[in-house]
Amino acid sequence: MDDAPTRTRCHWLRDEDGLEILIQMCCGAAIGGPAECTCNVPESRIEAAERGRAEAEAHVLRLMDERDRRLHEQAGIWGRNKRLRQRIEELETLLAGTTS
Ligand SMILES: [Zn+2]
């Protein structure tokens, strides 16, 4: 029987659509993902999976950066508006003082 190692180690499985999926069998891969795999799964494929994950994470980080930048811009605009309103109130008070 040559199946035993396949059942206890991580391995790639090609499904009906031709997509390859990594079946994670070892504790390392289960806990830490493909990078922590302790089996003899071809590394290039593990790296490809890791690269895909890293790219997805980088994309999320870029989106978060962009969101932070926009929030920062918005906070700046709100701050300017607030200062302008205060200045208008000051001027109105001054004006009321000069006409009364
Ligand atoms: Zn493994």
Domain ranges in the chain are 8-41, 43-100
- Look up the pTM and report it: 0.40
Q: Residue 56 is encoded by which pair of tokens?
A: 């997805």
Report, as ranges of residue numbers, the positions in the chain whose pLDDT lies below 70: 1-7, 43-44, 100
d(CA 100, CA 96): 6
DSSP code of 18?
S
Contact (CB, 8 A) for 22 and 39: no
pLDDT at 6: 52
Q: How far is the CA of 67 from the centre of ligand 1 (A)?
A: 37
Q: How far is the CA of 49 from the centre of ligand 1 (A)?
A: 13
Q: How far is the CA of 30 from the centre of ligand 1 (A)?
A: 8
pLDDT at 66: 94
pLDDT at 1: 46
Q: What are the Cα distances from residue 34, in Å, to 13, 43, 46, 56, 67?
A: 14, 9, 6, 15, 31
Q: How far is the CA of 16 from the centre of ligand 1 (A)?
A: 23
Q: How far is the CA of 8 from the centre of ligand 1 (A)?
A: 8
**First-last CA distance in the chain:** 104
* pLDDT per residue as tens digits for the range 13-30: 877 887 777 788 888 888
